[in-house]
Chains A and B, each alone.
Chain A
């Protein structure tokens, strides 16, 4: 965990080449079993070129950077908006940028913007996190 934060600090984490297996593993781990995420014929019938990742899979992948950066003890808010799909083969880059740092009664309150992009630089998730750190 980083000791101190300043507005503009950025942190990054990359998850390479997500696959159908990753979506299936997430389905099993989470109970989030919509077949659109693991059954290709079903996904094509619904008008998609293939299965795509659960939004909550990407939210989980992005949470790894939040944990790395702030730890979990002081995490107060975590927010994710699902703006585009994650396809098999995508490499996901999560970026966290500190937007506010202020003294609080119980430590330092830090706010950050969160973005997850795919290989083409397209945003798939945006959101944010708030943590109180020592």
Chain B
């Protein structure tokens, strides 16, 4: 993020200082005008809701609005922390997030290495476009496809039935839910996640490979001593981002499948906030759950970034 403002082509500072603020405003008025629509939209739909977080400290009544609702301090949070459903969804979130991290994270890296070793450019581009495709499908569509393949009336069971074997419905089984959502996430996003790693691979200096090969390093040694260290920065960055998002595990994915597997398995913090906030008109309660999530998420990002720095990597921003 620190690099945002360091593009070349900056006007020389000397000239900037000569102009008064008034003159600069005059000069840049159309530039400023251009940013107005975006800023207004963000103010209304991102910054105003931040004030809406106040409802977490109220007993919000939609009839009287935020300003006139009764203030209750931390009562909502006290109720939240005494709610077994809340703890259930928190542990679910962390568990699902952890399993996804372990099973999902290495796959795009392996795929990127694999694709990168395909010599024919045309073939590589073709495979890449196919691998990217599911990323552009909606979750509704992805889950429909899974339902058709693995659901009770799906292809897998169709096959099992016709061979007189017992059927197996993974779509409605709470015990295997974690595997289900992880495989869905892999199917939908693994192909897309390789982009960043491919870029990291392309940025590695080719001379390194040549000189190490001349020195007698085989392909595995080159992979270990050149390719992987070369990717390390990006791998760490992605890991930091993933850890920072540990409390966000595919909201839509869970929302759609919650009915099928039951809330014990499928409730995560986001769906908790939706079902016990909006669906039951208990807005303050849901907002409190949302605020809890935001605060912990910020702490997680900060902590993960510190961790990245400790390993000598840049993380989200440079130290």
**Does A pair with B?**
no
- Give chain A's interface residues, CB within 8 Å of chain B: none
